Structure 1
Amino acid sequence: MKLFDVVALTEDLPDRHLLRGQVGTLVESLAPDVYEVEFADPDGRTYATVAVPASHLMALHHQPHATAA
């Protein structure tokens, strides 16, 4: 994953009131495999910024990837 990738949570983060499937953007790399993810509403207003391990994230893709089967 790289900065500004759009991602979805693969697990709930109940202490932050975030659910599996919520979509955010990687805005900073905090440590190896830990990212700061910004979650925003449809109007672009940020409602959460959270440090999330890469193991709890899934990259989302908006177009086909050359290696996809």
Structure 2
Amino acid sequence: MTQPIKPFDVVALTGDLPERGLLTGQVGTVVESLGKDVFEVEFIDDEGRTYALTAIGADRLLVLRYDLAQAASG
């Protein structure tokens, strides 16, 4: 079972968004939930400048985890 995406989650793109100049694997932060499974994601460079702020569907995002998590037992 996956946890729902929520504001302030760090996410990575699972596919290119060429219309926005974004590539698979780029990392952003969820800043707002816009509706069921649609999120406003902010992408920031190493200098802290926003280079993209766009709505993205949950199916195109992977939540990055920084803590120890147990694998689901099957």
Same fold (TM > 0.5): yes
TM-score between both structures, scaled by the size of structure 2? 0.87
Structure exhibiting the larger radius of gyration computed from Cα positions: 2
TM-score between both structures, scaled by the size of structure 1? 0.93
How far apart are the structure 2 equivalents of 1:3 and 1:57?
Answer: 13
Structural RMSD (CA): 1.0
Residue by residue, what CA displacement relative to the aligned partner does 1:6-60 show, whole Å, maximum 9, x if unpaired? 0000010000000000000000000100000000001211000010000000000
How many equivalent pairs are there? Answer: 68
Poorly superposed stretches of 4+, deviation over 6 Å:
none
Gaps in structure 1 of 5+ consecutive residues: none
User: Are 2:71 and 1:68 equivalent residues in the alignment?
Assistant: yes
User: Are 2:42 and 1:52 equivalent residues in the alignment?
Assistant: no
